[in-house]
Structure 1
Amino acid sequence: MRFLPTRIHGAVDYLWGLALIATPWLFGFATGSAAQWIAVIFGAGAILYSLITDYELGVVRLVPVPVHLALDAGAGLLLTISPWIFGFADETSRIHMSFGLFSVVASLVTQTKPAPRQL
């Protein structure tokens, strides 16, 4: 059931990306490790593809919403399992898992069509 409007999803995208980028410093794993860089890269990536998504908060509307949602799901899944893939599960895993699972769920509940553009 897709109940989340794309406008709200867009706002969450930018906040999610900024929050994920900040987590290494907020939670004490800004040590130059894989855990830090995965958080920064995934957060920045989400912001970048949000900027080019064809929804209300996209700046350059190139990427269709269904493609954006597929990116959210795939990146979320990879972020969820990244502590084990990149070997930092003993350092931190809950943060990456939480952000990743949130991304997957958001991709499944967001509407696939933005509101009509108003002139």
Structure 2
Amino acid sequence: MKLRIITPTLHGVADYSAAVGLITLPILLNLGNSSGIAFWFSILTGLAVIVVSILTNYKLGIVRTIPYQGHLAIDLLVAITFMILPFLFDLKGIDGYYYWINAAVIFLVVSLSESK
């Protein structure tokens, strides 16, 4: 039984929603106590998610130059980066937990996404 329940369109909705969260949550959670990278990396990643989503070949893409499979590969790279970021920059407390939780969510979304 395959559990690929997230369609490309639903994945697009998740992408744009995640971008909003990545941009706003560092402000709301007061990230950056252990390092400024915790604050700014999230915001820059959120902006990058918007760009990649606009460029992805799915229903919510606009320019549609990145294949959906390539988009999923980029998502995996982001999840891996988020997983190791707290170790690389010695992020403590909420700064570290924020990235580990985001990494887990991204891994889950990619694993549940249809591969088109």
Q: Common fold, TM-score beyond 0.5? A: yes
Deviations 1:25-46 (A, max 9, x none): 1101257801001111111111
**Which residue does the alignment assign to 1:73?**
76
- Residue of structure 1 in register with 2:17 after alignment: 15
- Mapped partners of 2:40, 2:11: distance in 1: 24
> SS in structure 2 opposite 1:63?
coil
Mapped contact 1:77–1:101 kept (Cα < 8 A): no
Scaled by the length of structure 2, the TM-score of the pair is 0.88
* Range moving further from structure 2, 23-32 or 92-101: 23-32
Deviation at 1:78, TM superposition (A): 0.6
* RMSD over equivalenced CA pairs, Å: 1.7
1:85 counterpart letter in structure 2: L
Size of the alignment, in residue pairs?
113
Gaps of 5+ in 2: none
Alignment partner, residue 35 of structure 1: 38
Query: Which ranges of 4 or more aligned residues in structure 1 deviate by more than 3 Å?
Result: none
Partner of 1:52: 55
Q: How far off its partner does 1:89 sit?
A: 2.7
Contact 2:32/2:95 (<8 A) preserved? no
Output the CA distance in 1 between the equivalents of 2:69 and 2:91: 32
Which has more helix, going by share of residues? 2
Matched, 1:106 2:109: yes
- Residue deviations 1:1-22, cap 9 Å, x none? 3221111110010010110111
User: What is the identity percentage for the equivalent residue pairs of Structure 1 and Structure 2?
Assistant: 26
**Residue in 2 aligned with 1:25?**
27
- Distance in 2 (alpha carbons) for counterparts of 1:111 and 1:91: 32
Match 1:95 to one of 98, 102, 109:
98
Where structure 1 has 5 or more consecutive residues not aligned to the other structure, the ranges are 114-119
C-alpha separation in 1, matches of 2:92 and 2:112: 28
